Structures are given as C-alpha cells and as structure tokens.
Amino acid sequence: MQTWDDRQPIYQQLADLLAAQLLDGDPPEGEAMPSVRVLAGRHLLNPLTVNRALQALGDEGLLENRRGIGLFVAQGARERLKAAERERFLQQEWPRLRERLRRLDIGAEQLDWEGTR
C-alpha cells in the first residue's frame, strides 16, 4: 500500500505516481484512465484529492477529457513524460550524483550499467 509523506501535497504525490505508471505504459495511450472512484478506493483517498491529481495531469496535457465518457491517456503522453523526466534528471539529479561519485572516487569502469554484477 502507498504511503504518503508530508513534503508535498498528497494530490501531487498521486499525480507523480500516476505519471510514473503512464511512463511505464499503464494504461496505454488512447486508453481510459481508471475512474476517480476506482483510484480513490485503490489509494484510500478522498475523491476530491484524486480529482485534483487527475486535473494536474490533464493540465500537463497527459490526459484528455472525453465529455461524457471519461479521462483518456493523450497521444504522445509517454514521450512528453519521458522528455520531461530526462530533462529533470540531467538538470537536477545527475549533477548531484556525479558529485557524489567523484567524492567517493567511483569511476565509470566501476559502475555496472547493465546490472549484471
């Protein structure tokens, strides 16, 4: 079961979780998102919180509202997410990671990129 922390609003944490699932192709582009009720039950959250998370994803152009039918994963959502995550990684995470590797005197030859060790 998902645990929520106090560092950011729960709706944003849910939006991030759903975005990660979209990045993994769940649900695929063009397919319907689970309903607010289903997501609220699955994550034990207030439906208003779930609705706000879905709205945030819609505002990012990742979901589209088909009037009277529901929310669907927008075409190109996965690529937009991947591009945004790459940019965030390269701008925020990689510099910190590179500095830590340098501090620990770990070179590229010591890293197992394929996870075979």
The predicted-structure confidence for 39-89, as pLDDT tens digits, reads as follows 999 999 999 999 999 999 999 999 999 999 999 999 999 999 999 999 999
Model pTM greater than 0.95? no
**Coil vs helix vs strand at 19:** helix
What is the pLDDT, as a whole number, of residue 117? 65
pLDDT at 28 over 70: yes
Q: Which residue ranges make up each domain of the chain? A: 1-104
Count of CB atoms situated within 10 Å of the CB of 40: 18
**% of the chain at pLDDT higher than 70:** 98
Can you tell me the distance from the alpha carbon of 21 to that of 107, in angstroms, rounded to the nearest whole number?
A: 32
Query: Which percentage of the chain shows pLDDT scores above 90?
Result: 88
Q: Which residue has the tokens 């944003």?
A: 12
Report the CATH fold assignment for 1-104.
Arc Repressor Mutant, subunit A (1.10.10)
